[in-house]
Amino acid sequence: MSGYRLPTGGRVDRAKSVSFSFDGQSYTGLAGDNLASALVANGVTLFGRSFKYHRPRGILGMGSEEPNALVTVDRGPGRTTPNLRAPSVPLHSGLVASSQNRFPSLKFDLGAVNDKLGAFFPAGFYNKTFMWPRSAWEKLYEPAIRQMAGLGDSPTSRDPDHYASTYAHCEVLVVGAGPAGIEAALAAAQSGDRVILVDEQEEIGGGALADPAQWAWLTDARAQLLALSNVQLLERTTAIAHLHQNFVVAVQRLTDHVAPAQAQGAREKLWRIRAARVVLAQGAIERPLVFDGNDVPGVMLASAGRSLALRFGVAPGHAVAVMATHDSGWHDALALAKAGVHIVAIIDVRDDVSSDLLDAAGAAGIAVHLNHAVIGVGGRHAVKSVTIAAAGSSAARTLSCDCLLMAGGWTPTVHLWSHAKGSLRWDADWAAYLPDSIDDNVIAVGGGAGAWNYGSGVAVSNLPSPKPVHQQKAFVDFQNDVKARDIRLAVQEGFRSIEHIKRYTTNGMATDQGKTSNINGLQIASEVLSKPVTAVGLTTFRPPYTPQTFGALMGHHKDALFQPLRRTVIDDWAVANGAVFENVAQWRRARYFPQGSETMDQAVARECLAVRERVGMFDASTLGKIEVVGPDAAEFLNRMYTNPWKSLEPGRCRYGLLLREDGFIVDDGVSARLAPDRFHLTTTTGGAARVLGMMEDYLQTEWSDLDVWLTSTTEQYAVIAVQGPLARAVIAPLVAGIDLSHEAFPHMAVREGTICGVPTRLFRVSFTGELGFEVNVAAEHGLAVWQAIHEAGQAHGIVPYGTETMHVLRAEKGYIIVGQDTDGTLTPDDAGLGWAVGKKKPDFVGKRSLARPDIVGAGRKQLVGLLTKDPQVVLEEGAQIVADPAQPVPMTMLGHVTSSYHSATLGRSIALAMLVDGRAKLGETIYVPMPGGTIAAEVTGMVFLDPKGSRLDA
């Protein structure tokens, strides 16, 4: 059918036709149309299939409240957007849209069998029906239900668009540019305040867009707004959240209204706006009426009919009936009649309607049926007739029509008010909740505040009908297919709280968040519970106001900008030398340096052997570093760490262990005393910021009497570890001012001098078990010193190695990595580090907890070594350990593998593990059950190589 475009009227540009397609068929609309108005103009009434019953659906509303007409718009590969509301899709040339949730086609949909089986799908049906057998849920029921009950499909390829974001500040933010919002913005602008006005539609005006009498004012007001330098007008911008202290988040759509080929720049922009005052002028949404057949395509809100006719110049039907419980339906009917739409009749449940309206209807030649209600709708894919009856009478009559408008009153839009924790009050005249009080500087104006006189009405939860409720297909929530009888059933089954009724029936839980269903659902629940609406409660409105793209929320934070990537000064060299990298606490670290076609295992084995036999070099710049300075520096460290620090001589280093007050290990590292009042601390790579924060906390809030300064120096130093029996020989020619001999510069000592002519803090320390040095130089010299050491090392067969090799080397020596071999529940004793606790110290952070009954008792997990019976089998890190592999599941788990590698030096696998009473099990066999079979291993000590440490003293 065609010919729905009215000969005159509307804000569309009749000189500019726009071609587009829907479900593969080509249509023509006009510039200024949206997808819904253009399709209705072409005689399309069927827009989609409903969520659960696959019932045919048309449009209900013409704004962002639309629950039925969800479409997918295809703008090219990676640019499909599902679940867009057809009235919110601006029309442009070449628009490609399709309907959703139907197979094989919209008109013939196999899923519609659900509608016939509706009796088997009452509220909560999935909780009741698909309980048995339990195993079938995951494999059978859930996939089947998801297939049947669905929204649109997510795009499968990468989104090529980019998204912008910005911050803005203003004195006054106005949300909603209907007449009230526009007047508020203009008034605020007079005072010179910075004003931002946001509106979600293609053009500002709100309700005035469907009222030609206001167009001259609207044109003038828009021109005024644009002329004011202190007003920022954001069209196509939806305020989605109103958070603390007037922080409002809005999404601006920048390109979706033009054809893809014309789109330039970011697709959307996220605005984070902080406003001294927020004016909410969100308007009100018309309420559907609940009756049998109220979802047949062609049944829509009266406001939608008005918008179609007066804003877009499209008749909602050739013969339109109006079902009203509110005066606004009469105003709309009269306006449509004046615009040339044939109004068949106005039906109203009231028997008392103002004489002005009756006279006007009479003058327009419109039949009026007072004290009547629609009790049925003829037609399946489109309205063919409506059946009406007088209240209490079974005498029905049928009116032929192809459209039925519903005017059930208005629900002020209080979503953003509620986001900001504003309270609401029930208003009996509106039969709706209105804004009441709020802490922040927010006011609500216009229809959203109830400050709008559009006549009066009565609130009717269900239209009277001779048909029993359980036989009616009377929908409350169109998008989630919730019927009036589902809400009654929920109450009968014992649900009392509206929050529970909502979740059981899913009323208001769809992507439209109950914009058209909340109050009707509430009124039905109130009626069945025989409680006033205010005693039933109201569900909570949560952001976002309308669904948004992930792209807008994410903005630039993707790919390289997803999170900061920290690179050491040696990173470029590592790239040039073929390093394979891993990210550690936002640092990019070389993991190993493969040569030729080496695998990781081959490269790591070669690097390990080089360090053990000759010498290797390692970029340790990512180690956390804190300079601790002041007369009380030693006292401070003595209180923080488990170890004694006051006795440490300047020029010496000490392994420090840091606990939380609960007694568990939080960090470790080797630190050096450079002078009586100066320490160079190191922390784990990932723990640097946490340790500094913890130390600042104690220093500022517990021990503010101590005279100590803490400075993060992590990025000020490059650190080059030179490790292996030939380490001294490699650096000796480069170092000046330091006696490198073992006697003058023993293990765990620090010296200051120069290397390659630049100042260095040279540590003699080892995380490999070999003779080793860690060269600290100012970061700007790091690369040059690295290259010089690499050059000098060539004669000694030096090899650069990465973090994977470092892990194997330290595991061979039983050195732990905090966070890998510990999990926040290990004490020093659990980790085999009891020697690092100063027994004579009166106090340190966590000391008291080491005497807790649960920590001194038996049965704790302790770190031990594991050697698999088959030396070539490498255990999986994280694998669970049991004592008896024959025990039926669930087995008693004794712990897990924390570190596990193949050791090239030892020619076999090694592992560290947390094991209940591990040290009492030395020599025993434990088992690690794996999918491929159970692995047996012997419990050993943690040191696999050079237990006496003689290699350190080379």
Q: Which residues bind another protein (CB under 8 A)?
A: 243-245, 247, 272, 274, 421, 439, 661-662, 693, 696-697, 700-702, 704, 842-843, 847-849, 851-853
- Tell me how far the alpha carbon of residue 230 is from its chain's centroid: 34
Which is closer to another protein, CB of 97 or CB of 438? 438
596 or 842: whose CB is closer to another protein?
A: 842
Report the nearest approach of another protein to the CB of residue 274 (Å). Answer: 8
Residue type, 648: L
669: left (phi over 0), alpha (psi -120 to 50) or beta: left
Hey, what are 357's tokens?
A: 């309206």
Give yes or no for a contact between 669 and 684, defined as CB atoms under 8 angstroms apart: yes
* Distance of alpha carbon 44 from alpha carbon 35, whole angstroms: 11
844 closest CA partner among 560, 576, 570, 637: 637
Helix (H, G, I), strand (E, B) or coil at 312: coil
Q: Distances from the Cα of 707 to the Cαs of 631, 640, 649, 704, in angstroms?
A: 6, 15, 20, 8
Q: For the chain, how many residues are written?
A: 954
Minimum gap (Å) between residue 244 Cβ and another protein: 5
Residue carrying structure tokens 């993991």 = 591
- Residue 710 Cβ, how far from another protein at the closest point, in Å? 10
Specify the 3-state DSSP secondary structure of 723. strand
Please report how close the Cβ of residue 242 comes to another protein at its closest, in angstroms.
12
Give least dist CB 702 to another protein, A: 5
Q: Which CB atom, from 97 or from 416, has the smaller least distance to another protein?
A: 416
Place of tokens 């002519």: 757
Min CB(662)–another protein separation in Å: 6
Cα 337 from Cα 9, distance rounded (Å): 13
Q: Which is nearer to another protein, 248 or 377 (CB)?
A: 248
CB neighbours of residue 76 within 10 Å? 12
Virtual CA dihedral for 426, 428, 429, 432, nearest 10 degrees?
40
In which element (H, E) is residue 731 found?
helix 727-731
> What phi and psi values does residue 118 have, to the nearest 5 degrees?
-50, -35
Q: How far is the CB of 440 from another protein (least distance, A)?
A: 9
Q: Judged by CB, which is closer to another protein: 169, or 425?
A: 169
Tokens 């630190």 locate to: 671
663 alpha carbon, distance to own chain's centre: 35
| Antiparallel, parallel or unpaired: β 13-22 and 70-74 | unpaired
Toward another protein, which CB reaches closer, 277 or 847? 847
Provide the minimum distance between the beta carbon of 546 and another protein in the complex, in angstroms, as a whole number: 21
Structural contact between residues 806 and 817, judged by C-beta atoms closer than 8 angstroms: no
Q: Which residues pair with 30 in a beta bridge?
A: 17
CB 245 to another protein: min, Å: 5
Nearer to another protein, 241 or 309 (CB): 241
Span between the terminal Cα atoms of the chain, in Å: 95
Read off φ and ψ for residue 143, nearest 5 degrees.
Answer: -60, -40
Residue 183 makes CB contacts below 8 A (sequence gap 6+) with 221
Could you tell me the smallest distance in angstroms from the CB atom of residue 830 to another protein? 18
Closer to another protein by Cβ: residue 420 or 460: 420
Q: How far is the CB of 513 from another protein (least distance, A)?
A: 22
Helix, strand and coil percent figures for the chain, each rounded to 5: 25, 30, 45
Pick the closer one to another protein by CB: 274 or 558: 274
Instruction: Choose between 646 and 848: whose C-beta lies nearer to another protein.
Output: 848
Nearer to another protein, 439 or 884 (CB): 439
CB closer to another protein, 384 vs 847:
847
The minimum distance between CB 668 and another protein, in angstroms, equals 22
